[in-house]
Amino acid sequence: MINYKKITEDTYWIGGSDRRLSRFENIFPIENGVSYNSYAIIDEKTAIFDTADISISDQYLENLKGVLGEKKPDYLVINHMEPDHCSQIATVVAMYPEITLVGNAKTFTFLSQFFPELNEQRKITVAEGDTLELGKHTLSFVMAPMVHWPEAMFTFDTATGALFSADAFGTFGAIDAGIFADEYDFEKKFLDDARRYYANIVGKYGMQVQAVLKKAAGLDIRMICPLHGPVWRENIAWFIDKYQKWSTYTPEDEDILVIYGSLYGHTESAAQKAAAMIREKSGKSVSVYDVSQTHVSVLTSEVWRCGKIVLFCPTYNNGIYTPMENFLSDCIALTVQNRTFALAQNGTWAPASGKLMTEKLQCLKNVKIVEPMLTIKSALHETDEQELEAFVNAVVEA
Ligand SMILES: Cc1cc2nc3c(=O)[nH]c(=O)nc-3n(C[C@H](O)[C@H](O)[C@H](O)COP(=O)(O)O)c2cc1C
Ligand SMILES: [Fe+2]
Ligand SMILES: [Fe+2]
C-alpha cells in the first residue's frame, strides 16, 4: 500500500523499512531493522533522491508511483552508489526512460560498473558547489568523499534548508509510525543504534566526516534527510554535536568499559570482581561485556562511547584469545583514538596476551596504556588481593 509522507514544502519521504534482514552488510546484526530512505521534491521539475535496497523494492516503487501520480520525474539525484540505495536505479530508468541521472564523475564510474546498461542514459555531472534549478527549489551539491564511499555527496535544497545527507546522520533501526526524530524518544529508541551505525560504517573516516561537517556549518540547515533512520527537523544541533564527538574520537561520557574473554570462567570471575571494585572506587557507571557473546559491532560502539576500557584476556596458544584479537583488530581497522586502556592477562604456563595486546594497541593514535598490567596465573585468589587492588587503583586514577 502507498505509504509516503510529506516532510516539508513539496518534499516527500518515499522510503521503507526492512525488519527481516538479520545482518546489515551481512555483518552487523540489526534486531531493530533498518530503513532505506528515498525522497522526492515535486516542483516545476521533479527530483528523486536515491532509490532503495532491493529488499523493499515493492514498497519503494509503490511510494514512488504514488507520489508522482501522472507526473514524470525529471531528475534522479544519486547521492550514494552503494547497492542499499542504488539497487532500483535501472528499474526507475525503465519506468521513466526520459529521466536524467544527476551525480558526480565518480558516481557515474560506479554506475557503469553496477549498471553498464545505463551508459547511454541522460546524465548531468555535478561538482562541488554546482546548482540545479527545479523551480522554487534550487539544489546545491556538496561532495562528501568517504562518508561512506568515495562518490558520496550531499544535496542541499536552498529553498527549504533540507540537507539530503546520504549515509551521514543515519542510523540502524526501522522507522515506525513517525518519520521525524522528534516523534520518538530518540535517545531511548535510536541512540545506541545510531552510535553503532556511526562507529562501524563511517567510524574509520573521522577526518572526512570532520571535513564535511565544516562545509555543512556554512549552510542554513533546517532539516536533515539521511538515507537511514528518521528525518531531523528539531534538535539538529544536538545530533550534529554527537557527530562532532564521534568524528573527533572524543568519548561521549565517563563510563568505564570492561571487556573480558574467558574459556572456563576464571578470567571472567576476575573481571567481574575488578568491575565491581572499579565501580565502587570510581563512582562511575561500569559496563561489562563477554567478548565471545556480544557482537563486535556493539563492543566498538561502546568504545566510541566510553573513554576508559579495561580488557581481561587469556593467553591462547601463545597468542591473544581469538575473539579478543578480533575485537582489537576491529578497533585498529576503525582507527579508534584518544582512549585509555588497562590490561589484565591470564595464562597457565606462559602468560603473553598482555604484551601482545599492548603491541596491537600501540597501532592506535593517542592511546594510553595503564600501568601496572595485571597478570593472573590460571585464577585469581584472595592472596592476590593486593595486586588486584593496585590494578583497580591504577584504572580509577588513570
Ligand atoms: C586451548 C588453550 C590454549 C591455551 N594456551 C595457553 C598458552 O599458550 N599459554 C598460557 O599461559 N596459557 C594458555 N592457556 C590457559 C589460559 O590462558 C587460561 O589460563 C585458562 O584458560 C584459565 O582461564 P579461563 O578459565 O578464563 O579460561 C590455554 C588454554 C586453552 C584452553
Ligand atoms: Fe553506504
Ligand atoms: Fe546506506
Is the CB of 262 within 6 Å of ligand 1? yes
Q: Are strands 286-290 and 100-103 parallel, antiparallel or unpaired?
A: unpaired
Which CA distances in Å does 14 have to 7, 41, 172, 320, 332? 10, 10, 18, 48, 37
Is the CB of 305 within 6 Å of ligand 1? no
The closest alpha carbon to 50, from 85, 3, 17, belongs to 85
> DSSP label at 371?
S
Dist. CA 29 → ligand 3 center (Å): 15
Atom of ligand 1 nearest to the CA of 319: 8
Is the CB of 319 within 6 Å of ligand 1? no
* The predicted structure's pLDDT at residue 239: 98
Q: What's the burial of 184, exposed, middle or buried (CB within 10 Å: 0-12/13-18/19+)?
A: middle
Residue to mutate, 259, 260, 262, 263, ligand 1, most ligand atoms under 8 Å from C-beta: 263
* The predicted structure's pLDDT at residue 25: 97
Residue 252 in domain: no
For ligand 1, atom 28: residue with the closest CA: 316
Shared domain check, 150 and 31: yes
The partner residues of 308 in beta bridges, in order of sequence, read 256, 340
Identify the residue whose cell numbers are 553496477.
Answer: 114
DSSP H helices, 218-316, are: 236-247, 266-282, 296-305
Last-in-domain residue among 222, 247, 272 = 247
Last-in-domain residue among 212, 247, 282 = 247
Is 82 in contact with 18 (CB distance < 8 Å)?
no
Dist. CA 170 → ligand 3 center (Å): 8
Is 108 in contact with 123 (CB distance < 8 Å)?
yes
The residues placing their C-beta within 5 Å of ligand 3, an ion, are: 84, 167, 227
Residue 218 in domain: yes
Dist. CA 360 → ligand 1 center (Å): 20
* Domain that includes residue 331, residue range: 257-397
* Alpha-carbon gap, residue 295 to 7, rounded angstroms: 35
Shared domain check, 372 and 334: yes
Shared domain check, 94 and 189: yes
> DSSP label at 373?
P
Tell me whether the omega of the peptide bond preceding residue 372 falls within 30 degrees of 0, making it cis: yes
Shared domain check, 168 and 50: yes
The closest alpha carbon to 304, from 358, 238, 248, belongs to 248
Atom of ligand 1 nearest to the CA of 265: 25
Q: Are strands 162-164 and 46-49 parallel, antiparallel or unpaired?
A: unpaired
For ligand 1, atom 12: residue with the closest CA: 347
* The predicted structure's pLDDT at residue 213: 96
Please measure the distance between the N-terminal and C-terminal CA atoms of the chain and give it in whole angstroms: 57
Residue to mutate, 266, 343, 346, 374, ligand 1, most ligand atoms under 8 Å from C-beta: 346
Q: What's the burial of 45, exposed, middle or buried (CB within 10 Å: 0-12/13-18/19+)?
A: middle
Nearest 5°: phi and psi at 380? -95, 140
Is 378 in contact with 266 (CB distance < 8 Å)?
yes
The CATH code of the domain that includes 182 is 3.60.15.10
Is the CB of 266 within 6 Å of ligand 1? yes
Task: Output the nine-digit C-alpha cell for 205.
Answer: 573516516
Last-in-domain residue among 247, 280, 301 = 247
The partner residues of 23 in beta bridges, in order of sequence, read 29
* The predicted structure's pLDDT at residue 33: 98
Is the CB of 79 within 6 Å of ligand 1? no
Shared domain check, 294 and 345: yes
| pLDDT mean for each 10 residues of the chain (398 residues) | 97 98 98 98 98 98 98 98 98 98 98 98 98 98 97 98 98 97 98 98 97 96 98 98 98 97 98 98 98 98 98 98 98 98 98 98 98 97 96 97
Which CA distances in Å does 34 have to 55, 174, 175, 245, 317? 11, 4, 7, 24, 40
Shared domain check, 189 and 44: yes
* The predicted structure's pLDDT at residue 280: 98
Shared domain check, 282 and 232: no
Shared domain check, 111 and 231: yes
* The predicted structure's pLDDT at residue 154: 98
* The predicted structure's pLDDT at residue 48: 98
Q: Are strands 365-369 and 337-347 parallel, antiparallel or unpaired?
A: parallel
Task: Output the nine-digit C-alpha cell for 194.
Answer: 545510531
Question: In a 3-state reduction of DSSP, which class is residue 218?
Answer: coil
Length of the chain: 398
Atom of ligand 1 nearest to the CA of 268: 26
Shared domain check, 211 and 278: no
Dist. CA 329 → ligand 2 center (Å): 22
Is the CB of 315 within 6 Å of ligand 1? yes
Shared domain check, 325 and 356: yes
For ligand 1, atom 4: residue with the closest CA: 316
* Alpha-carbon gap, residue 183 to 268, rounded angstroms: 41
Dist. CA 375 → ligand 1 center (Å): 13
Task: Output the nine-digit C-alpha cell for 272.
Answer: 567481574
Dist. CA 261 → ligand 3 center (Å): 32
Q: What's the burial of 248, exposed, middle or buried (CB within 10 Å: 0-12/13-18/19+)?
A: middle
Dist. CA 77 → ligand 3 center (Å): 15
The CATH code of the domain that includes 304 is 3.40.50.360
Q: Which ligand is nearest to the CA of 324?
A: 1
Q: Report how many domains make up the chain.
A: 2
Shared domain check, 224 and 322: no
* The predicted structure's pLDDT at residue 369: 98
> DSSP label at 326?
H
> DSSP label at 133?
E
Shared domain check, 265 and 231: no
- Report the b/e string of 143-162 with b at 16+ CB within 10 A: bbbbbbbbbbbbbbbebbbb
The closest alpha carbon to 182, from 234, 228, 221, 223, belongs to 234
* The predicted structure's pLDDT at residue 342: 98
Sign of the dihedral defined by the CA atoms of residues 127, 130, 136, 137, in that order: positive
